Each structure stands twice: as structure tokens, then as C-alpha cells.
Chains A and B, each alone.
Chain A
Amino acid sequence: MSGSRTRQSAVSSRTRLTSGRMGPLWEWLFRIAPASWSEYVLQHWSGRAFVVAVPWLWLALFFLVPFLIVFKISFAEVRIAMPPYTPLIEWVSGQALAVKLNLANYTYLFTDDLYVSSYLYSIKVAAVSALWCLAIGYPMAWAMARSTPTWRSVLLLLVMLPSFTSFLLRVYAWVGLLKNNGPINSVLLALGVIDEPIALVQTDFAVYIAIVYSYLPFMVLPLYNNLEKHDPALLEAAADLGARPATAFLRITLPLSRDGIVAGLLLVFIPAVGEFVIPSLLGRTDQLMIGRVLSDEFFANRDWPVASAVAIVMLLLLVIPIMVFQRFQTRDLERGR
């Protein structure tokens, strides 16, 4: 009985598919495809599958395929040609298929100090920036979540407002502010706090300030989203049970906002590791971040295989925190929140 029902549904979806605007295409497909394939398509391809297929297709085309190409290049050898690397798979005199896997690019990354120190420096900068964002963003998000609904939307808009201007412009603005004859140095000189301009650009300080400034909304928004949902009665209950405000914060608010903290830290840390613009414009010249190294390898050195290896290792470094993030998210979903 169930067999006849599936047959019926197959027949009905066949008429549905072939009567639409793409009808002729489907008819052609069903004619040339093996019978079992057509059967499968008619029984399993619902409208929902197509809706889900669109983002999957997008990700496959623009993320997975480029990643595989970069991955492939990272095993090649550099050569002066077009393209500037050796093919991975080659027909040797039309007889045999030769696969050349060159691991030297990866080992090279660990022989030259430049790469290791750049990786470590990038992670350090990203981690410190993320913690600063947390330190500054948490009170902001907390204050927003506790203000009246009218104020909330105003403050929310203020947090997002800088993003309406180009990112590059805002970083250049920091160059202007921090340079030797910029307003900060001028004011300090005029006040007599300093005798000669202090070097602010091309320092760690400048990089931190610009990263924290640029990525702060990515910390504030998930935190606000979390804190805003807290039930104020919980803090009242804590106070009622004898907890002072500081204890109530540490034992109730902070643990309940853990997911927001994790989300914010990752949203700042992940893009900050690969940051290119900020360290290039404001950063030290004696210590590069990995984004800059990558760009130099590709465009200045034209060593695509090494650049690809740099990119793959960076990706692996980022995949670990992303997986941590994912784990937290799934746990939340399972908890039904």
C-alpha cells in the first residue's frame, strides 16, 4: 500500500515539475537520466531541499572550491611561468600520470623565523585585542541592557553608527590622530605634558587601539543580546538571599552571560588574527602580522605555493576557535535557548 502511495506522489511531482516554466528541462532530464535517478529525484527533491541548496551551493562555489585550489597550490613548486607554480598532476610524456606532492612549503614555514614569529604575534595581538574589547564592551553592553527601551535603541544605533563609514577611512583617521604632528601629540605638547612628540604610530599601541576601536561592536552586540534577556528578578532574588551587588554580578550575571562572552571573543579574535589593513597602516615595521606576510608572499614575492601554505596554516589556527564556538552554539541549541 505504501508503495502505491509513493508511486502516486512520484507521478504527481512529475506533473508538477514538468508543468512549470522549467518543464521542458525536467522532461529532458527524465528522458536521458537512468530510471532509478529520476525516481530518486521525484521522491526526494522537495522545495525545501532547493531552499537549503542555495546557501550550500554558494558556500561550495565561493569557499570550498577556492580553498581546495589554494590547498592544491600549497603543494606545488614555484616557477617563473604562467601560472607561477608547477602543476600537481602531470602526464609524463603522455604515458604515465605523475603526482608531485611538495611538502617543502610547509617545512619552510618553520625554518624561517619570520613566519613563526608572525603567527605568534598575530595570535597575541588578536587575543589581547579581544580581551580589551571584552573589558570595554562588557560594561557598555551591560549599561545598554539596563537602560530604558528608548535609550536602548539610541545606544544601539550609536554602537553601530561608526560602521556606516568605510573601515579604511576610519583607520586612516587613526593615523591622522596618532601621527607625530597629529592632534593628540599637539594637545599633549601644548599642555606641557611632553617635550617632544611621542611616537604613537607604528607601535603595538596603535594597532591595539585601532583593532579594539574597529571590532568593539562585534563584542558589544552579542553581549548586549545576551544581557538584555536576563530576568531582573534573578538579581533581586540574589539580593534577597543576602548577596551584595558585586557577589550577585559574579555569581549570577557573569555565568549567565558566558555564551555572549565566548561569542564576542571569537567574533573579535578570528578576524583580528588575519587583520591586514590596520597593522599595515599603523603597525610596527620590525614585526609583521601574518596577514601582511601573506600579502607580501603573494604580491611582492610572487611565491604562490608558500603563500598558500601560509594561508592554510592560518586557516587551521582559526578553525580551532571556530570549532570551539560551534560547540558552544550547539550546546545552547540542545539546551533549548
Chain B
Amino acid sequence: MAESQAANGRMAAQAREYVRVDRVTKRFGDFVAVDDVSLSIGQGEIFCLLGGSGCGKTTLLRMLAGFETPTAGSIFIDGQDMTGIPPYERPANMMFQSYALFPHMTVAKNVAFGLEQERLARAEITQRVGEILELVRMDAYAQRKPHQLSGGQRQRVALARALVKRPKLLLLDEPLGALDKKLREKTQFELLGIQERLGVTFVVVTHDQEEAMTLATRIGVMDRGEIVQVGTPTEIYEYPTSKFVADFIGSVNMFEGRLVEDEPDHVRIDSRDLGGTVYVDHGISAAPEATVWTAIRPEKINIGRERPDGPDNVVRGVVREIAYMGDISVFLVAIDSGRMVRVSRPNIVRQAEDRISWDETVYLSWHASSPIVLTQ
């Protein structure tokens, strides 16, 4: 389902641009929160801004909502320049990280607030509030005050309050941050369902890569005010373009090395970090003898007692730690060069007869297509 949605999102992005961020910079005094960012978000997309705290993702979102004014550059929503347009006149609605529900109003009043600003008829307001509360399954709580609700319920009211205005663009600031893991996963799929039904464009800010991976059609990874990579979850995970992204998303083993063989169809990297050579089955664009970094994901490394054939892509080590996580086991292997390598293996059988254990000498190997070669 996520796959097909990602595909839909991409197609939509090509079909029609809904949000354009054009060379936007935001400074607070000397501090540059957002640094010359350009983005294009398609209609019906779920676009995630992912990054650590202080990377500028929330500032960027607040500029989309109109709570902050860009120092330079402009933002276009549906082709219209948003410069100088106050939040209350923008076609976007925001779901706040703190939910920002009005504490003196009931759930129904909170949700109706936005519609009352549009001066709709009483009857229509009542009807639309009822519909949206039903959609987020909060209709039974319409007369409660926010302080009588649980975290998950508040989150749904906040979502309903933003959605009831039928915005073309919904901005979500860490939407699931306050929920526990189980509720979070459930809500993620609920959000996807709602997005699919209403066709709203979502821009989601999050520091949680899992959240970004599940929700997003595309992810923009931010670091120190800049967008470092934009791509689908698969692209971001499997084809990161920088050490930062490779390291930030998931876990990775990174080895520094030197390019010793540079052919159009393959390259070979000599790495002292690794204590061996890495053979990669595709060409890369880098100067010969250049310093490059090889990144290999833990789940793409095989672990075994026998040394596989061939001179490349194999390294010997001793198992130092094993972490049993249920679905997978993570091995920390000290290789001969002294580095620790992280390997994860799915636990396919319930009880393996001959399981690799502590202090065993093992060989780590990987397929020639697995290493990611990074030049920056």
C-alpha cells in the first residue's frame, strides 16, 4: 500500500506543483535558521521535512503557515505569492505540535471555530463538524473539554479542527510526537487513510525517521538550515547522497577509503578502516585516487563461519556483542582493523541449532551492489 502511494505521490508531483519554496532564507539575528532553501511539493503529496532539532524544519513550516516571514526568497501556494499574506488568509491549516486546542471550548466548539470565521450558516457548521468528528472517530466526545481527553484523542481533535476547513494544504508539526509507540503506528495509518480520502497535500515536520518513512511520499532531509537531500523513502535510505544522510537515516557502517580502480562498470576501493578492499558493481563519479566513504547497511552484511570465495567484500572479525531484538538480532563484530561493524540478521527460525555466539571468529561479506560510495 505504501509503495503504490509513493508512486501516486510521485506522479502527482510531476502532474501539478502545489507548493513552491523559492530560495527562502530566514535569519533570527545572526542565526540562520533556514538557509537558501528551494522546494517543490506536488498536489496530494505527503512531504516530510526530516531533521534533528534546530535544523530549521519547524521554521520552514511556520513560514508556510505565515507565522514567520522569510528574510529572503518567497513562498508560493497554488501559484500565488504568499509574501505579506497573513496566516488567516492562507489556504493552509496547521496541526500544532502541542495541538493548541482552545481549553475553554468543547471539542465541537474547537472544531467549529474555523468554520465560524468563514461565516457559514449554523446548520452547515453543525453538519460539517459532525462529519469530521465522525471521520476521526471523536463524535462521542463532542461535548468534552480538551482537559478531559487523552493525548491521542486531543491529537485527533486537532486534526479534525485543521481538516474541517477543507484546506488544500495541511501542515503538521511533529503530529505524532506526543503519542506512545503503538498508538503512533495506528495513527500513522489513519493519517494515510484520511489523506487518501480527502486528497489534501500534507507537509509534515518530524525528527522521527520511522514516522517520515511510513507517511511520506517524499522526504526532504534538513541539516543546519539546508535541505541536503530530497527523495522517496527508498531513495533516501538506499541511495543517500551524503555521509550525513546515510548516517542520519537508519544505521550504517562507514569506512573511509581510497579509489584504486575506477572503471565505468565497477570500482574498487582500498580501505584501511576496513582492512581490505571493496568491490562495487557500478561506476561512480570521483577523481582517481580520491578519498571516498563506503557505507554498508547492517542488514546487507552476511555473517558466517566460512570465508566466502573471492578477494573482495569480505572481512574477518570476532563477535563482541549480540543484541536479540525479537524480529532481528544485531551483532557487533570487531574486525581485524579494530573497527566495530554492526550486522543485523532476521531471526527466521525460532530456535537455530547452530547459532553464532559470543567471541566466535566470523567472516562478514556483502554483495557488490550493496555498498554506497559517497564522496561528501
Task: State the A residues within 8 Å of B (CB).
Answer: 231, 233-234, 236-244, 247, 251-252, 255-256, 335-336
Which of these, B86, B93, B147, contacts A241 with CB under 8 Å? B93
A251 contacts across to B, CB distance below 8 A: 113
Which of these, B65, B88, B89, B104, contacts A255 with CB under 8 Å? B104
- Whether B88 lies near A243 (C-beta < 8 A) is yes
- Whether A233 lies near B98 (C-beta < 8 A) is yes
- Whether A241 lies near B98 (C-beta < 8 A) is no
* Contact (A241, B104) CB under 8 Å given A233-B98, A236-B87: no
Distance A238 CA – B67 CA, assembled complex (angstroms): 12
- Whether B103 lies near A241 (C-beta < 8 A) is no
Q: How many residues of chain B have a CB within 8 Å of chain A?
A: 25
Distance A111 CA – B100 CA, assembled complex (angstroms): 58
A243 contacts across to B, CB distance below 8 A: 88, 113, 117
Which of these, A241, A335, A336, contacts B113 with CB under 8 Å? A241
Q: Is B216 an interface residue (CB 8 A)?
A: no
Q: Is B152 an interface residue (CB 8 A)?
A: no
- Whether A233 lies near B113 (C-beta < 8 A) is no
- Whether B88 lies near A233 (C-beta < 8 A) is no
- Whether B104 lies near A242 (C-beta < 8 A) is no
* Contact (A237, B104) CB under 8 Å given A242-B117, A251-B113: no
Q: Is B141 an interface residue (CB 8 A)?
A: no
* Contact (A237, B96) CB under 8 Å given A242-B165, A256-B103: yes
Distance A336 CA – B146 CA, assembled complex (angstroms): 13
Q: Is B222 an interface residue (CB 8 A)?
A: no
B113 contacts across to A, CB distance below 8 A: 238, 241, 243, 251
A231 contacts across to B, CB distance below 8 A: 98, 100
Q: Is B94 an interface residue (CB 8 A)?
A: yes
B237 contacts across to A, CB distance below 8 A: none
A-B contact pairs, 23 of them (CB 8 A): A231-B98, A231-B100, A233-B98, A234-B102, A236-B65, A236-B94, A237-B102, A237-B161, A239-B67, A239-B86, A239-B87, A240-B66, A241-B88, A241-B93, A241-B114, A243-B88, A243-B113, A243-B117, A247-B117, A252-B102, A255-B104, A256-B103, A336-B147
Distance A238 CA – B113 CA, assembled complex (angstroms): 8
B87 contacts across to A, CB distance below 8 A: 236, 239-240
* Contact (A241, B165) CB under 8 Å given A255-B104, A256-B104: yes
Q: A241-B113, A241-B117, A242-B114 are in contact. List 8 more A-B contacts (CB 8 A).
A: A231-B98, A231-B100, A236-B65, A239-B67, A239-B87, A240-B87, A242-B89, A255-B104
Which of these, B94, B101, B103, contacts A240 with CB under 8 Å? B94
B104 contacts across to A, CB distance below 8 A: 255-256
User: Residue of A at shortest CB range from B111?
Assistant: A241
Q: Is B118 an interface residue (CB 8 A)?
A: yes
Chain B: minimal CB distance from A41 (Å) = 43
Chain B: minimal CB distance from A237 (Å) = 4
Distance A53 CA – B224 CA, assembled complex (angstroms): 60
- Whether A236 lies near B88 (C-beta < 8 A) is no
- Whether B100 lies near A236 (C-beta < 8 A) is yes
Q: Which of B101-129 contact A (CB under 8 A)?
A: 101-104, 113-114, 117-118
Interface membership of chain B positions 338-369, coded 1 if the CB is closer than 8 angstroms to chain A and 0 otherwise: 00000000000000000000000000000000
Distance A241 CA – B116 CA, assembled complex (angstroms): 9
Distance A199 CA – B66 CA, assembled complex (angstroms): 54
Chain B: minimal CB distance from A282 (Å) = 41
Chain A: minimal CB distance from B93 (Å) = 6
Q: Which of B76-105 contact A (CB under 8 A)?
A: 86-89, 92-94, 96, 98, 100-104
Interface membership of chain B positions 34-54, coded 1 if the CB is closer than 8 angstroms to chain A and 0 otherwise: 000000000000000000000
Chain B: minimal CB distance from A238 (Å) = 7
B114 contacts across to A, CB distance below 8 A: 241-242
- Whether A234 lies near B100 (C-beta < 8 A) is yes
Which one of A231, A242, A243 has the highest number of Cβ atoms from chain B below 10 Å of its Cβ? A242
Distance A1 CA – B311 CA, assembled complex (angstroms): 82
User: Residue of A at shortest CB range from B67?
Assistant: A236
* Contact (A236, B96) CB under 8 Å given A242-B117, A243-B88, A336-B147: yes
Distance A244 CA – B114 CA, assembled complex (angstroms): 11
Distance A247 CA – B87 CA, assembled complex (angstroms): 14
A244 contacts across to B, CB distance below 8 A: 88
- Whether B117 lies near A240 (C-beta < 8 A) is no
User: Residue of B at shortest CB range from A230?
Assistant: B103
Distance A241 CA – B114 CA, assembled complex (angstroms): 5
B67 contacts across to A, CB distance below 8 A: 236, 239
User: Residue of B at shortest CB range from A247?
Assistant: B117
Going nearest first, the 4 A-B pairs with the smallest beta carbon separation are A242-B117, A241-B114, A237-B100, A233-B100
User: Residue of B at shortest CB range from A251?
Assistant: B113
Interface membership of chain B positions 256-293, coded 1 if the CB is closer than 8 angstroms to chain A and 0 otherwise: 00000000000000000000000000000000000000
Which of these, A238, A240, A242, A247, contacts B65 with CB under 8 Å? A240
Distance A123 CA – B209 CA, assembled complex (angstroms): 64
